[in-house]
Amino acid sequence: MKPKTVLVTGASAGIGKATAERLLADGGYTVYVAARRVEKMEDLRDKGAKPLKMDITQDDEIVAAVKQITSEAGGVDILINNAGFGLNGAMEDTAFEDVRYQFEVNLFGLGRLTQLVLPYMREQRAGTIVNVSSVGGKIYNPLGAWYIATKHALEGWSDCLHLELKPFGIDVVIIEPGAIGTEFDDVMLGPMLERSGDSAYTPMTKRLAAALERSFKAPHHRRASPTRSPRFSRPNARRRDTRRASYARTMLFIRKWGGDRVFDRFVMKFIG
């Protein structure tokens, strides 16, 4: 049988790279990996992957990547939409240029890429689309409004897509990770403090930063490792695969069973 062709976006680090490594180790796949920084994927090339330079916000680069895969492998059988980042800081302090870029990366670029791979999947009447969302798609917290907005949007988009594509034999899987070890300092705390560390929201920002540092360093609130990324290769993958850190499971439980008021009190108490 022809090996299934997989495209993993955001494969230069974190979950994307770990997922590509797992697929390559499992064997039986033609693995394309895409990111802005091709040099960060040379180790994946050495293991058998095919790196592509692709900025998920640039339509010409998205189109070129899909054209190359189509010419070489026929099309994409499994799309893993992993590229994304978190924009943290007070809503009022965030420049709208940054807001638009957040949505371009976390939603619009992902949607455009999905549009381009679907004709092949429909023709084959088979395919899998994996959208890496976040536990932030289910909960909320201060200083995360724009990032969480993209993840809530991705959740609804994925649910609609699941119903639209089911008649064609195409499955849509949502992954909802908690905090990942590679993200904490560089992606979450640093930009949040830079954006809102000297504004009307400084007291809340500093309290939240301190609370997160204490929480994530506690043994019972360990952050997940990217190497625990889901095994997408299994044919009976659940529609939602929730690889969450323990703190995220706690927040989800309170959000579901306590309602908004209880959850609000929990979050504000956590911040102090």
Active site residues per annotation: 12, 133, 147, 151
| 149: Cβ contacts below 8 Å, ≥ 6 apart | 103
Dihedral, CA of residue 137, residue 143, residue 145 and residue 146, to nearest 10: -100
Q: Quote the distance between the C-alpha of residue 202 and its chain's center.
A: 28
Q: Residue 265 and residue 250: Cα distance in Å, rounded?
A: 14
Instruction: Show the tokens assigned to 120.
Output: 């092949």
- Residues with Cβ within 8 Å of 101's Cβ and at least 6 positions away in sequence, in order, are 57
**Phi–psi pair at 196, nearest 5 degrees:** -125, 15
Dig out the tokens for 242 from the structure. 């929730």
3-state secondary structure of 187: helix
**What is the C-alpha separation between 243 and 176, in angstroms, rounded?**
6
For residue 35, the surrounding DSSP H or E stretch is: strand 29-35
